[in-house]
Structures are given as structure tokens and as C-alpha cells.
Structure 1
Amino acid sequence: MIIRRLEKKDMEAAKSLWRYAFESQEPFCSWYFENVVAPENLLGIFMEDDLAASLQLNPYRLWLNGNSFDTSYVVGVITAPAYRHRGLTKELMAAAIGEMNRKNHGVSILMPFDTSFYSTYGWELCYSQLRYEIPMDMLKNFGATQGNFTPVHGKDDVNALQGIYESYLKDYQGYVQRTPKDWAILIQDLHHDGGYGYILMDETGTPAGYILYFLKDGTLNIRELAYCSHWAKKSLIHFVYRHKSQTTKAAWPAPVGDLDFLFLRDTIKPTPTNTIRILPFMAGRVVNVKSALENCRYPKDTLLSFTLQISDIYGPWNHGIFSVMIQDGIPCVQETEDMEPDLSCSINVFSRLFFGAISLEQALFMEEALLHNPLLSDDLKRIFQQKNNFINEYF
């Protein structure tokens, strides 16, 4: 058994394995392997010359804790049927954590098929989404006719899309800082699946919002909705309502902190008409505790010193005690062996604290973390606060 990064000559085998497990439709599969996947971002287990298992480590940048983070998005964890139930996933995930550490990717994200499966390896659910499913009639009085809509074509629209995206997410954490290539891939994927995209312009011709969506089986299914103002949101919703002759309902994702459900028309009796659910979406993991903490930027008046003990079976470089000094909002982290910890937890809990999926207060209440120095309680709670995360990437 050999575990290594894939080479160009291995890509056809990786494509065949992907097609068997996930996506057999063309032209998506060929497009995906030609435009999205790079061999240096694939890791595989080989049994002699046979690719037995593989995964992708797609590179992105996340905005988190006041700074940008290089991250690996783990995608397509596959084992060939002839090699399943041999523990290859365990070997592959351990190798992937090591590979990400060598790439200096301090954090990682992963979309789990089961929220508990990857917790063995340190990934924990850190992102959820609201999912709206609303009958068209309920949108009639929510929107308003304002602005002009132009179709999304391609690279010429990237600057407009990026500006709206950044404005929409300015109060959120954990989102991907999309590059022109990321936008190009997103738009191509949308068009490959028969989707549509429109940009909303205000009366001065300034981009104010966008909508990316599909029409299928009587539903207007929104891939992404973003806006710079309340009137832009209302105009986008009215754009959706204009499709009432084609569809019976609309569905869209939103951050968990979204409050539109409070203002949508609904019924109470005999049953509620609208469906608004919280769906699990993305797991996160801290790959390297030291580099992740040192990349954070806290308020400039932050002055704090504490020791942190982490247990991490799959990341031995994290397993131990760290001395953390935050001065002028910038952390400095050193490994130490001769100090008692002020705070201790597993890498799983630390990942949730770091991403802000839970606060330190919640972790202590659930007995997921131990605070050995109560005098630091208030200061540490300011560092490890719950955040409003949002992410909407699928590969």
C-alpha cells in the first residue's frame, strides 16, 4: 500500500472512481476534472498500480477571526468497492491531515454526509444554513418592483458579483474569499446544470444584488441570493414572485441569523404554510493549532496570556500544551512542557471554538472543555465567542 499525491497519469483512474461513486453525468464529470481538480490536490492510496481510494484537497481562502486563512476543502472521499471495509478511509484521512499541515493550511472544511462520521478525525459541524421553502403566493406582498436585471454571462460580471458578495457577508464569518477563478467555476457549474443568473442594478447602474437559481419540478430553487440593501432584497424576492406562473414554490438558503421568516406572510391554522428548517452544512477542523491561532487578529486592545492543552490523535503536532500571548490583538504561540494548562479540550471542541460554532461558555456548560483557571474566564470568553458563520460552496 502506497499513499501519495496523484500525478497527471493518475487522473483518468481518479475520474473513473469519482464517476462510479458520485457523478456519472456528462459533461459535468469531464468539465469538473478539467477545470476544478488538479492532481497536486488529490491524495490516493494505491494497491500496486490500482487506485484503491482517493480524496481531494481543494484550496480556498476563508475569512475567519479577523484574517484570511489558507484552507483545504476535503471533497470526494472515495474507496473503490473492491477495497472497502479494510480501514483505508482511516489511513487516507490521517494522511490528508498530514498533507494539509505540510501545505501550511491551518484549517480545513468538509461537507459531511453524516455529521458524526468525520468527528473521529477531528472535523465537527461548524456551519448550518436556514432553508426556506415558500409557496409563491406567500411572496406576493414581500417584494417590490425596483431596479433593473441583467443576465449573468461570465467573467465580465465577476467584479459586480464579488462586490455584492462581500457586502452581503460583511457581518458574517467563515466564508470563502472567492477569486475570479472561483467565480468562473461557479458560473460554469450553474450553466452546466441549466441554471440562470441575474444581477440587480439600482437606478444609477450600480450592482445591488444577484440571484443564481434553477427551475425544476415546479420549484424555483435558488443556489445563492445576495444583496447590498433591504430594497435590493425586496426587489430580488419580487423577481422570484414573477415566476408564479411557472412554479408553485421557491426555495433558498440563508445564514442562520437571517430574520426574513418573521416578515413573510404565513398561516398558523390549520397548519403553517411556510417551511423554514435549519440544515447541517459544513464541518471544520483546525489542522495546526499554533499557526491557526497566530493567524488570528483580535481587537487591538486585547492583552491576554494563557496556556492551552489540546488532545489530537491524528495531528500529533497539536497534541500538547501551548503558551498563548495576545498583545495588541496579535497572538504569539509557543509549545511548552513545563506549564499547567489554563484551558484544555480535544481538537474537536477546539475546532468548534475556533470557528465560533459554539462559545466557550457553551463548551464549559456541556462539559466539553475544562477551565482550570477561573480567573481567566471572562477574558477567554471574549476570545472564544459564538459567531454567525455562512458558507455556500459545494466542491
Structure 2
Amino acid sequence: MTELRVVDVAEDQLDSVWQVRIRSFGPGGDRDEWKKNALTFMDGRFLGVVDGDELVAAARIWPFEQWWGGRRVPMGGVAGVVVAPEYRGRGVGSLMMRAVLQRCVDKGYPLTALYPATTVLYRHLGYEFAGHRYKFAFQAADLRTLSDGKGTAVRKAGRGDADLLLELAGKEHQARRSSGPLIWPRTEVESWLEDEDNFAYVADDGFVVYNWSDGDLAVDELISGSEQTARALWATVGSGASIAKTVQAYCPPFDPIHLLAEHEADGDTRINRWMLRLVDAPAAIATRGFPDGVVLEADLRIDDPELPANTGDWHLSVAGGSGRLTPADPTSEALRVGPRGLAALYAGTPLAALRAAGLVTGGAADADSVLNAVFGGPTPYMLDYF
């Protein structure tokens, strides 16, 4: 290694990124489509590491919002993290990811999340597991019988329905106090609705997007504001039962389909885990939703070696469904937490588990149960892989 530097990836470096990507993830995908998509990140959200003039690592940042406690929180989704094989184990990945964290600060993302290929690097930089992506399998014939066809009317959706789909999803995630689901940029939703391989149907209070996958049908997302709409949309998917025997569905473990379907989902549920990190702790607390009936006053001592602005003594106040994290004087009753413990706490991991793992220490004797109530709620989940 001669001169390792972090750079913003330029268009003429995309072929080099592609080569590192192939050596990292294996062959697959359309090179031209990948390059077309990569160009949309060249507003400061595509970083690389070069050794002299040679690009040896890269990563991209998606401009997401993410639901937390039923409120939208800006989140930088880290994707396409690749390091050339001959540079692994030399600190190149850490150098790049530290630059990614700082760029998330610069872009104003209170949170950052990713799907890890390895946990060692990301935990070292303060990420921790926060939720899951679930893929369940149902009998298509079972879903077909959920509606008699005389209830909620559904129609085919198109590009012009992108805003409507985002609005319907927003209403339901707010009502359910969802944590974890992503809010994609409207342009991406329009692209999905234009893709002839996707099938989208919409009702007054819900929608479904699904496609074919290896002889099965696969539901990417189904949102419903009522039992009747849920039945109608799932039955629309199940109407393909004469060809597809199985419907693969990305949905949370508490989705109503688990109560509506006559037979339980297949036992071989696929689960992917994703990790979270707080980039701006006060902003992450201020934008998150909390239970309306819970009140908390607690002191925290955050030690964040990668993002010093988070480090210090803080006072956490929660009331009326909102929270604030403000600077405070040191106190012997402060809950001591690092970035991994803070991310896990934010995602609702019980204090008993965090203490058993050594991720939090100290704190007032009677505060754990209230903290659990404040950060608890529906299990965090994502529907999308990025």
C-alpha cells in the first residue's frame, strides 16, 4: 500500500468498482443497469478508497427514511460495501466505513443501517443488530379462498400511483407504530410500478406488489387498512394457485395474514438480520416516535469513540409520544452505553439482554422497566434488501 485515500467515486472509476464488486460478491447482475443506477449516487453518496490511483474499496449510501415508533426518521442505508481481496484485513474497510459515517453526518442522517456480510467490522464501528427481514411461505390455494370476490374492489396500479402507495403505506405504519420499514424515494417506487415483471394492485385503503420467483409467487409488500382489503389483496395473489403452489411473502411475524390464513406459514422461514447505528443521537431521539402513555426522565452517559459529538452526559425525556436528548451534568445514576448498546436500545432490545451482554451498565435501579416500555413496541422489521 502506497497512499490510501478516501475519495468520492467518479464515473470513470465505475469499471474499477464493478471489478471489485465481482471479486467480492461473485458474478451476476447486469453491468450496464448497475452503472446506470450507480450514477444516481454521485451526489456525495458514493465513496471509495484508492491506493495511489487504484480503486480498492467502495460503498454507497441510500437516502432512505425509516419508520421508528410510527414516525419517519431519515436514515442512510449503506450498501455495496466491497474491498478488493488483496486489501482485506489491512484496515481498508474500517477506513472507508469511518468515511461513510462522517458522510452520513454531513448529509444529516440521524441513523444509518445495513445488512452485514460480516459483523466484526460493523460492530467495531458501533453498529448492532436491530431487526430482521422475514420471508414466509404460504399455500397459494389457501390464500385464494380468503375472499369471495364480492368485497373490496381492487384495480391494477401503474406509475401514476406511486404517491398513493407511499401515502397508504405511511398511514398504516403510523397507525401501527411500525419500526424498521423503509420509505423509498418516489422515483424508485415509480420504477417498480413500471417494471413489467411486477404486478401491483390497489384498493381504497391498501395495495399489493408481487412477482414470479422460481415458479412461485413472491409478495414484496402488502398494505391493508381493513380486514376486507387484506382478504381481497391476498386472494388476488392466491388467484395464481393453478400455476404457483406457494406464495413467498415478505411481511412481519405479526402481520394479519398469520391470523387469516387457514394453514400456518411453512416452518422454513427465511430471516435476514440487519444492523443499526445512531449517527446523531439527539436527532435520532427527537424524530423517533414513543408510546403516548409512557413518561421517562433518565440520565445517560454515551461513549462514542467514532462520533465524538454523541459522547457526553445527556438527559433523556420522553412524554406525549415524543422524546428529547439534551446535554446534562454528570450523575452517578446515569446509564452508561456505547454506540452498539445505544443502537440496540433504540431498537427495543430489553435492558436485561443488554446488561447480560455488557452493552449497558449503571443507571437508576428502577429505570430499566420504564426504558423497556419507552423503546418497546412492535418487533422492528424490514421488507426490503438493499
TM-score (norm 1): 0.83
Does residue 305 of structure 2 align to residue 313 of structure 1? Answer: yes
- What secondary structure does 2:285 align onto? helix
Cα distance in structure 2, aligned partners of 1:76 and 1:273: 32
Cα distance in structure 1, aligned partners of 2:148 and 2:31: 39
Larger deviation, residues 256-265 vs 50-59? 256-265
Larger deviation, residues 96-105 vs 22-31? 22-31
Cα distance in structure 2, aligned partners of 1:263 and 1:327: 35
Larger deviation, residues 119-128 vs 374-383? 374-383
Cα distance in structure 2, aligned partners of 1:261 and 1:65: 22
Shift of 1:116: 5.9
Q: 2:179 aligns with which of 170, 173, 177?
A: 173
Cα distance in structure 1, aligned partners of 2:304 and 2:341: 11
Q: Which residue of 1 aligns with 2:197?
A: 195
With over 3 angstroms needed to count, the CA separation of the structure-2 counterparts of 1:212 and 1:361, relative to structure 1, is same
Encode CA deviations 1:49-94: one digit per residue, 9 max, x unaligned: 1111010111112232464322210001001234233221122112
State the AA in 2 paired with 1:228: G
Compute the RMSD of aligned alpha carbons. 3.0
- What secondary structure does 1:242 align onto? helix
State the AA in 2 paired with 1:90: S
State the AA in 2 paired with 1:348: R
State the AA in 2 paired with 1:227: S
Query: What 5-or-longer segments of structure 2 have no aligned partner?
Result: none
Q: Which residue of 1 aligns with 2:245?
A: 248
State the AA in 2 paired with 1:175: P
Does residue 224 of structure 2 align to residue 222 of structure 1? Answer: no
With over 3 angstroms needed to count, the CA separation of the structure-2 counterparts of 1:281 and 1:11, relative to structure 1, is same
Larger deviation, residues 10-19 vs 95-104? 10-19
8 A Cα contact 1:224 1:253, kept in partner = yes
- What secondary structure does 2:269 align onto? strand
Cα distance in structure 2, aligned partners of 1:196 and 1:66: 28
Q: 1:260 aligns with which of 228, 244, 257?
A: 257
State the AA in 2 paired with 1:382: A
With over 3 angstroms needed to count, the CA separation of the structure-2 counterparts of 1:320 and 1:9, relative to structure 1, is same
Shift of 1:291: 3.1
- What secondary structure does 1:157 align onto? helix
- What secondary structure does 2:59 align onto? strand
Q: 1:29 aligns with which of 29, 34, 44?
A: 34
- Counterparts of 1:226-375 in structure 2, within 5 Å, are 226-266=223-263, 274-275=266-267, 277=269, 279-296=271-288, 298=290, 304-325=296-317, 329-334=322-327, 336=329, 338-356=330-348, 358-364=349-355, 368-375=359-366
Larger deviation, residues 129-138 vs 341-350? 129-138
- What secondary structure does 1:163 align onto? helix
8 A Cα contact 1:2 1:46, kept in partner = yes
Q: Which residue of 2 aligns with 1:62?
A: 66
Percentage identity across aligned positions? Answer: 17
State the AA in 2 paired with 1:32: N
With over 3 angstroms needed to count, the CA separation of the structure-2 counterparts of 1:82 and 1:129, relative to structure 1, is closer
Cα distance in structure 2, aligned partners of 1:117 and 1:149: 46
8 A Cα contact 1:147 1:200, kept in partner = no
Shift of 1:216: 3.2
Shift of 1:373: 1.6
- What secondary structure does 1:28 align onto? helix
Shift of 1:95: 2.1
- What secondary structure does 2:79 align onto? strand
- What secondary structure does 1:244 align onto? helix
- What secondary structure does 2:155 align onto? strand
Cα distance in structure 2, aligned partners of 1:75 and 1:134: 30
Cα distance in structure 2, aligned partners of 1:208 and 1:330: 30
Shift of 1:362: 4.5
Q: 2:48 aligns with which of 40, 44, 47?
A: 44
8 A Cα contact 1:45 1:51, kept in partner = yes
Encode CA deviations 1:227-268: one digit per residue, 9 max, x unaligned: 2211111112211222122212111011122243344233xx
8 A Cα contact 1:211 1:225, kept in partner = yes
Encode CA deviations 1:119-163: one digit per residue, 9 max, x unaligned: 232222212233221233333433432444433331x11132123
With over 3 angstroms needed to count, the CA separation of the structure-2 counterparts of 1:135 and 1:375, relative to structure 1, is closer
With over 3 angstroms needed to count, the CA separation of the structure-2 counterparts of 1:326 and 1:248, relative to structure 1, is closer
Does residue 6 of structure 2 align to residue 6 of structure 1? Answer: no
Count of aligned residue pairs for this structure pair = 377
State the AA in 2 paired with 1:174: G
With over 3 angstroms needed to count, the CA separation of the structure-2 counterparts of 1:39 and 1:49, relative to structure 1, is farther
Shift of 1:363: 3.1
Shift of 1:308: 0.9
Encode CA deviations 1:319-375: one digit per residue, 9 max, x unaligned: 443234557745141165x4334211221121011122x133553466542243214
State the AA in 2 paired with 1:234: R
Q: 1:139 aligns with which of 143, 153, 163?
A: 143
